[in-house]
Amino acid sequence: MAGERIVKGALIGCGFFAENQMRAWQELEGVSIVALCDRDPRRLAHFQALFGIEDTFTDAETMFAALTGSGNRGLDFVDIATTTQAHAALVPLAARHGVDIICQKPFAGSLAMARRLIVQCAENGVSLSIHENFRWQRAVRQTIEVLRAGRIGRPFFGRISYRSGFDVYKAQPYLARVERFIIEDLGIHVLDIARALFGEVERLSCETARVNPGINGEDVATLMLHHDDGVTAVVDCSYATRLADDPFPQSLIEIDGDNGSLRLRQDFELEIHGAEGGCDRRDVRPEPPAWSEAPWWPIQESVLAFQADWLKARRHGRAVETHGEDNFNTLALVEAAYRAAAAHQSVVPARWSR
């Protein structure tokens, strides 16, 4: 990166997941987080000490006023790592200040709001990138690439399965209180993998259950997707599955094509079965950064990979795969899944159009 200007960013939301985002920024060359913002002064002080960043703000508006505009210190982008409710105010605020935006998933609480945020970013000439990292896990990425390279021909069936009993409520207690839980929080990632593998979805059906009596939302969801190009895919998610060898936080994938099959196994082995009966086995275990800790390796690796791609995309003037318009269609699958589950009927998801 010799000679390239350092890209300057600010982080809003110094919570549980943002720690991964900060560690990834600090590992990447050519980018620097110059300011932190959190409305909770204790979280702010914790991040300030952890990452050695001087400039801190408890109010995003004050931060943008201090860092943008003529004569100020300059800011190129903001990484919004708060939960969804705050995005409706923070995304337009950042857009008005002319900075590119990275926003955590789900980037809006409704499709109407998602549309509004996309349009406001476009009107202000700033990019909107959704921090969707699951498709950047090494095992998932390699599965996507093998499929796209045509190794098993035309796919006709897929299953993406995420089943675990991991105590997610410990680090994210708000997940026990939300009315919409597993589809909105975790299924959104798995549905995004389905789109990365098989493209857009024509219709879907969904059944949900709440197994854990101590939470408000659903902790089990089973979806059937019919994709535009004819693939039928099952997306199944559970945080109520007790297994001695809990695969958390892995997504396991099965794909059948007209010229072979793929199996992404729990031991991070990707099997490529050919039509003639042979099987290639690839080791696709994560190559996690030094700061990564078990069992978070695939996730933390994918945070770094997403952010590295965002930086590369910015340098080359291209959008990331999961830009706002693209991710609108993932969010639309989440909305459609809740509608389908309520009606016990298949539903046609909305799709982005101008």
Ligand X SMILES: NC(=O)c1ccc[n+]([C@@H]2O[C@H](COP(=O)([O-])OP(=O)(O)OC[C@H]3O[C@@H](n4cnc5c(N)ncnc54)[C@H](O)[C@@H]3O)[C@@H](O)[C@H]2O)c1
Q: Which residues bind ligand X (CB under 6 A)?
A: 12-18, 37-40, 43, 60, 81-84, 86, 90, 104-105, 133, 172, 185, 299
The amino acid occupying position 166 is F
Task: Select the residue whose beta carbon is closest to ligand X and give its number.
Answer: 15
Burial class of residue 308 (count of CB atoms within 10 Å of its CB; 0-12, 13-18, 19+): middle
CB of 260 to ligand X, least distance (A): 31
Given the complex with ligand X, which of 135 and 273 has the nearer CB atom? 135
What backbone torsions phi and psi does residue 337 show, to the nearest 5 degrees? -65, -45
Given the complex with ligand X, which of 150 and 173 has the nearer CB atom? 173
CB of 173 to ligand X, least distance (A): 9
| Residue of 143, 47, 61 whose CA lies nearest to 94 | 61
Given the complex with ligand X, which of 143 and 261 has the nearer CB atom? 143
DSSP secondary structure string for all residues of 252-278: EEEEEETTEEEEE-TTSEEEEEETTS-
Given the complex with ligand X, which of 241 and 302 has the nearer CB atom? 302
CB of 30 to ligand X, least distance (A): 23
Given the complex with ligand X, which of 83 and 212 has the nearer CB atom? 83
Angle, CA of 122, 123 and 127, to the nearest 5°: 30
Q: How many CA atoms lie within 13 A of 110 on its CB side?
A: 3
Given the complex with ligand X, which of 235 and 299 has the nearer CB atom? 299
> H/E element holding 62?
helix 60-67
Q: And the tokens for 105? A: 């998933």
CB of 14 to ligand X, least distance (A): 5
> H/E element holding 80?
strand 77-80
CB of 258 to ligand X, least distance (A): 33
Given the complex with ligand X, which of 19 and 256 has the nearer CB atom? 19
249-288 core/surface letters (b: 16 or more CB in 10 A; e: else):
bbbbbbbbbeebbbbbbeebebebbeeeeeeeeeebebeb
CB of 26 to ligand X, least distance (A): 17
CB of 275 to ligand X, least distance (A): 36
